[in-house]
């Protein structure tokens, strides 16, 4: 068991490291190819920051453990709102930007509802995966069109990501693009293998491991980045980062099990896990659009979201222990 835990931790560490190198290499390579800064920000950076979740989901689906991928997508969204925004709001109140209010949050609500509708028959099919991925393509296209029409620069959150990326010579950029991708693939395989073995050793389902250990692990970089932004006084971009990540988790990560041949969805995953994801997303929308209040997540509201996430995970642990003992 200790070897499996060590392999899991090593998988997480190399996954995060290689994702950063891959993103820097991809963005620098695109820049050397003459791709505009706006297009790099809206495509390479936006999708690249979710590379760990996407690669883990792809590896899990290919290895025949699609429920691990489903759990990762849903659990990451739950953790991003409850854990990441909850903790960050306790540090500093989080204001909603106009971009989040007018575009990104409505897209997240739409993507969440689409996922629930597609999974309502307790099956995620190849067609469902295509529809989810098409939704991502539509959103990216709209983003590019909106930016070109407005003639504006990229959003502040994406601009910060671009500023933090290391600018490299062409050869070095290509090297890290290839090396980062290869290490990403290997670390995703190691993570999925160790998580699956731990699930078997503990006698719990792959869905539970995906919802807890894997989801928390892949959300830790988001937590570090969001808390770091709040500490630096850039708390206004924190919500945009999380909302964008959640959209990608639904439309790109959740699409993987469907595109890899489809999978059945457990009834409990629909009402307990998808229900919790919807509840936290609606709670986020309530804080944003509530009449008579400022569009900001206060410390109290952050505490509410964090308490909801803690309660949900305690429920998962209790149910896993009950089913294991049955």
The CATH number of whichever domain residue 65 belongs to comes to 1.20.1420.30
pLDDT recorded at residue 301: 93
Place of tokens 């919802």: 211
Say how far apart CA 36 and CA 59 lie, in whole Å. Answer: 31
Instruction: Give the model confidence (pLDDT) of 261-293 as tens digits.
Output: 889 998 988 999 999 999 999 999 999 887 667
Domain extent, residue 301, equals: 2-325
User: What mean pLDDT do residues 254-260 have?
Assistant: 91
Give me the number of domains the chain comprises.
1
pLDDT recorded at residue 61: 86
Res. 124 pLDDT band, cuts 50 70 90: very high
Instruction: Give the model confidence (pLDDT) of 62-75 as tens digits.
Output: 888 889 899 999 99
Q: Is the dihedral of CA 255, 257, 263, 268 positive or negative?
A: negative
Say how far apart CA 61 and CA 2 lie, in whole Å. Answer: 25
pLDDT at 300 over 60: yes
Joined tokens for residue 93: 């109140």
Instruction: Give the model confidence (pLDDT) of 174-209 as tens digits.
Output: 888 888 888 888 888 888 888 888 887 877 888 888
First-to-last alpha carbon distance for the chain, in angstroms, is 23
Least confident piece of the model among 145-149, 190-194, 216-220, 318-322:
145-149
């Amino acid at each position: 068991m200790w070897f499996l835990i060590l392999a899991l931790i090593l998988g997480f560490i190399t996954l995060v490291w290689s994702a950063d190198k891959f993103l820097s290499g991809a963005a620098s390579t695109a820049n050397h190819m003459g791709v505009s800064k706006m297009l790099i920000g809206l495509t390479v950076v936006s999708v690249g920051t979710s590379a760990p979740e996407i690669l883990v989901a792809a590896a899990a689906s290919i290895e025949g453990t699609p429920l691990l991928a489903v759990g990762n997508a849903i659990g990451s969204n739950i953790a991003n709102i409850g854990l990441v925004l909850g903790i960050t709001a306790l540090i500093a109140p989080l204001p909603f930007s106009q971009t989040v209010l007018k575009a990104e949050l409505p897209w997240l609500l739409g993507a969440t509802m689409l996922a629930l509708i597609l999974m309502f028959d307790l099956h995620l099919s190849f067609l469902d995966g295509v529809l989810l991925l098409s939704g991502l393509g539509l959103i990216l296209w709209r983003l590019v069109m909106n930016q070109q029409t407005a003639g504006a620069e990229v959003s502040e959150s994406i601009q910060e990501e671009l500023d933090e990326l290391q600018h490299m010579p062409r050869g070095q950029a290509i090297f890290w693009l290839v090396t980062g991708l290869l290490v990403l693939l290997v670390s995703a395989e190691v993570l999925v293998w160790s998580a699956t073995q731990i699930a078997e050793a503990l006698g719990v389902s792959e869905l539970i491991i995906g919802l807890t250990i894997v989801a928390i692990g892949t959300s830790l970089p988001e937590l570090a980045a969001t808390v770091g932004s709040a500490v630096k006084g850039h708390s206004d971009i924190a919500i945009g980062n999380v909302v964008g990540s959640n959209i990608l988790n639904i439309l790109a990560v959740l699409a993987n099990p469907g595109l890899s041949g489809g999978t059945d969805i457990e009834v409990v995953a629909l009402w307990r896990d998808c229900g919790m994801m919807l509840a936290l997303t609606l709670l986020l929308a309530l804080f944003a659009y509530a009449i008579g209040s400022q569009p900001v997540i206060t410390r109290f509201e952050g505490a509410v979201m964090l308490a909801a996430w803690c309660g949900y995970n305690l429920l998962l642990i209790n149910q896993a222990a009950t089913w294991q003992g049955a």
